[in-house]
Amino acid sequence: MKPLVQAFLTIFIVAFALMYGASYWNSSQGYTGDHTLTIYNWGDYIDPDLIAEFEEQSGTKVIYQTFDSNEAMMTKISQGGTTFDVAIPSEYAISKMKEDNLLLPLDHSKLPGLVNIDSRFMNLDFDPGNEYSVPYFWGTVGIIYNPELTGDITFTSWNDLWSDKLRNQILLLDGAREVLGFSLNSLHYSLNDTNEDHLQQAKKKLQTLTPNIKAIVGDEIKMLLANEEAAVGVVWSGDAAEIMDENDKLDYVVPDEGSNVWFDNMVIPKTAKNLEGAHAFINFMLDPEIAARNAEYVGYSTPNKLAIPFLPEEVSGDKRFYPDPELTDKLEVYQNLGKRMLSHYNELFLEFKMHKK
C-alpha cells in the first residue's frame, strides 16, 4: 500500500473511531434526541448557572452556541445544516424570519409562564399574538456621558452631541440603524424613515458630527467609556448599565426627541428537533426568580413583571433602565425595512464612516 493512501486510511479510521466514541458516550449519558437542546444566543447573554440548573432539572444536555449579529444568525438558520432548538433574535429579525418561514409557531399551552410578561411587551407589531416569540430582554438606545468631562451639557436632546465642547470626545456604536436612527430623530423624523430626502439629510447631518467623533467601535466601547478614554457614547441601555457598574461617574439618558426601544425574544427555529425541550426551556426562563437572576447577571431589563420584586431596588427602581410607560410609549421599535432599504441604510452609514476617515 502506498504511504499516502495508508496515511489517509489511518486518518479516516481514527476520525470514525472518535465520532463513534463521542456518539456512544452521548448515548450512554442519555444525550440523544429529546435529551439534547441546542440554544443559539448572543455572547454572554445568559447566566451560565441557569443553563446548568435547567440541565439538572430537565435531564437535558444543553449545547450553547453564540452569534454576533442577527444577520449571521438568520443566515446560519436558513442554511439548515445545524439543529437549533431555541434562538434569541431581535424584533426586526423576527419579522424577516417569519417572511422566510424560518420559525415554528409556539404552543402557548406549554408556556404557562407567559402570563408573567408585562402586557406592554406582548402582542407587538412584529409578532401579533406572540405566535412565534416570547420576550427575553428589552432596552433603549441613548447617550452615556461623564459629567466631569462634559461640563454643563445635559443631553436632553440628540442635538447636544453636536456641541463644540465635545471635539474628539464621542464614541459611536458600529450600527447603521442606531447611528442613522439618532440622526433621523434629531431631525424629528422616524428612525424607520424611508424617505430619500430625509435619509440624505440625516447622513449629511452626521457628516457634520465627525469633528466630535473619536471612534466608531464595537464591544470595546464599554471598556473605553469605563476607562474615561472618551466623554460620551451612544450605546444600548444594557451596555450603559454595565459601564456604569465599572465607573459610577457616568450617567445615561434617552433624549427627548425619542429613540429606539428594542426587544430580544426567544423563538423556535424551523431547524428544531426537540420541541418539548424548547418549550420547557422557554417556560423555565419565564419563571420570575429565574428571569430576575438572569437580568442581574446580564444587566439588561427584564420584561417579566413578576420578576421585578426579586431584583434589588437600586436596579428595578432605576428609571434610566426601567422607565415609565410615558417614555416607552413614545419610543420606536425597529421595523423590517426590507432587504433593499436595509442595504441602502448600510450604504449611507458606510458613506458616513468613509467621510469620518
How many Å apart are CA 264 and CA 71, to the nearest integer? 14
- Give mean pLDDT, residues 204-209: 97
How many Å apart are CA 178 and CA 336, to the nearest integer? 14
Among 182-186, 262-266, 352-356, the range scoring the smallest mean pLDDT is: 352-356
- Give mean pLDDT, residues 32-59: 91
What does the pLDDT read at residue 81? 86
pLDDT at 5 over 80: no
Percentage of residues of the chain with pLDDT beyond 90 = 79
pLDDT at 22 over 80: no
Q: What residues have CB less than 8 Å from 179, skipping those under 6 apart? A: 172, 173, 206, 216, 234, 349, 352
Of all helices (H) and strands (E), which one includes residue 65?
A: strand 61-67
Contact 294, 50 (CB under 8 A): yes
In this predicted model, what pLDDT tens digit does every residue of 172-183 receive, in sequence order? 999 899 999 999
Contact 353, 206 (CB under 8 A): no
Alpha helices in the chain (DSSP H): 3-28, 48-58, 70-79, 91-99, 147-150, 176-186, 196-207, 221-226, 237-246, 275-285, 288-298, 313-316, 325-328, 339-356
Give the pLDDT band of residue 357 (cuts 50, 70, 90): low
Give the pLDDT band of residue 237 (cuts 50, 70, 90): very high
pLDDT at 26 over 70: no
- Return the DSSP state at 231: S
Q: What is the pTM of this model?
A: 0.81
pLDDT at 28 over 90: no
Domains of the chain, earliest start first: 31-133+267-322 (3.40.190.10), 139-261+327-356 (3.40.190.10)
pLDDT at 69 over 90: no
How many Å apart are CA 252 and CA 175, to the nearest integer? 19
Q: What is the 3-state secondary structure (H, E, C) of 177-225?
A: HHHHHHHHHHCCCCCCCCCHHHHHHHHHHHHCCHHHEEEEECCCHHHHH
What does the pLDDT read at residue 43? 87
Give the pLDDT band of residue 23 (cuts 50, 70, 90): very low
- Return the DSSP state at 333: P
Give the pLDDT band of residue 71 (cuts 50, 70, 90): confident
What does the pLDDT read at residue 34? 66
What does the pLDDT read at residue 321? 93
- Return the DSSP state at 332: B
What does the pLDDT read at residue 355? 80
What does the pLDDT read at residue 35? 86
How many Å apart are CA 265 and CA 300, to the nearest integer? 13
What does the pLDDT read at residue 191? 94
Question: How many residues are listed for the chain in this entry?
Answer: 357
Residue 292: all three cell numbers together: 430576575
What does the pLDDT read at residue 356? 64
Among 105-119, 167-181, 206-220, 327-341, the range scoring the smallest mean pLDDT is: 327-341
What does the pLDDT read at residue 17? 45
Among 49-63, 147-161, 189-203, 316-330, the range scoring the smallest mean pLDDT is: 316-330
Query: What letter represents residue 256's amino acid?
Result: D
Percentage of residues of the chain with pLDDT beyond 70 = 90
pLDDT at 195 over 80: yes
> Average per-residue pLDDT in the chain?
90
